[in-house]
């Protein structure tokens, strides 16, 4: 793949990873529209690594609490607030890990990668986000997160393995249905993304080492990571400020229009 195309993919990944519009759906759509193969393993690792660094840097304070939570759990200080926070994140991550293993081992994950699935996912789960945003109470804070909330949002995150549905959009929908404010939903969704993106990056890295390591171009990969990082930082800053004053409706409208177009083209 050429440098310009890789740069374009990196920016798309950085923009769409955290907005509720589906990064996997957009990358699959771009590959189909430009008649290009899907990302190589190296590029996948590079762009995921860039977005991972972005969210870790942006939520570095919460990351500190998570690391503190690991330490407190090791000390068997289970009632410490950081220990509880870490365990809640583990609960929220388990559904997507288990679902991912099932889809990977059965091969279903490859069957889902089609424009028709992407388009339907964008529309259906976009409408769900709209309903959650319109009818959710939106009066709970991030500090109100419970085991039940973490598990429910984790199940919503697992559904995002379907291309076009959006990991961030699904977790925000789950949070809104549970009564969390928009800001709380965004923050919880982004924190939940840290172990998910980390796991994905590590698994892809293992595949690169096994399959494609000799063909790696360090300069191109570093550039892709940097561009996805910069795009992700800008998007995170924008999104957190945006939801303080506005609803998710603009994202829903975008998803429905694009998803409908994709379904039409797929037929």
* Cβ-contact 38, 28 below 8 angstroms: yes
Element (H, E) at 50: helix 41-58
**Cα radius of gyration (the chain):** 18
pLDDT score recorded for residue 30? 82
Question: How far is Cα 150 from Cα 87, in angstroms, rounded to an integer?
Answer: 9
Regions of the chain short of the pLDDT cut 50: none
pLDDT score recorded for residue 213? 54
pLDDT score recorded for residue 28? 78
Buried b (16+ CB within 10 A) or exposed e, 74-97: eeeeeeeebbbbbbbbbbbbbbbb
């Amino acid at each position: 793949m050429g440098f310009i195309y890789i740069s374009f993919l990196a920016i798309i990944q950085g923009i769409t990873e955290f907005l509720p519009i589906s990064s996997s759906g957009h990358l699959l759509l771009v590959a189909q529209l430009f008649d290009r193969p899907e990302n190589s393993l190296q590029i996948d690792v590079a762009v995921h690594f860039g977005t991972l660094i972005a969210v870790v840097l942006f939520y570095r304070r919460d990351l500190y609490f998570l690391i503190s939570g690991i330490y407190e759990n090791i000390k068997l200080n289970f009632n410490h607030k950081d220990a509880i926070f870490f365990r809640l994140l583990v609960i929220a991550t388990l559904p997507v890990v288990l679902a991912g293993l099932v889809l990977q081992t059965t091969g279903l994950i490859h069957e889902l990668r089609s424009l028709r699935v992407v388009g339907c996912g964008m529309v259906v789960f976009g409408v769900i986000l709209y309903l959650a945003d319109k009818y959710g109470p939106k009066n709970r804070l991030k500090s109100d997160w419970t085991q039940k909330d973490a598990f429910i949002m984790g199940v919503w995150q697992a559904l995002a393995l379907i291309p076009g549905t959006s990991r961030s959009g699904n977790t925000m929908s789950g949070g809104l249905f549970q009564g969390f404010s928009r800001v709380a939903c965004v923050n919880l969704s982004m924190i939940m993304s840290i172990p998910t993106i980390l796991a994905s990056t590590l698994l892809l890295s293992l595949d690169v080492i096994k399959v494609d390591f000799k063909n790696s171009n360090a300069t191109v990969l570093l550039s892709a990571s940097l561009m996805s990082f910069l795009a992700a930082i800008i998007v995170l800053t924008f999104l957190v400020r945006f939801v303080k004053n506005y609803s998710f409706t603009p994202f829903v409208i975008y998803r429905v229009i694009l998803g409908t177009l994709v379904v039409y083209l797929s037929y």
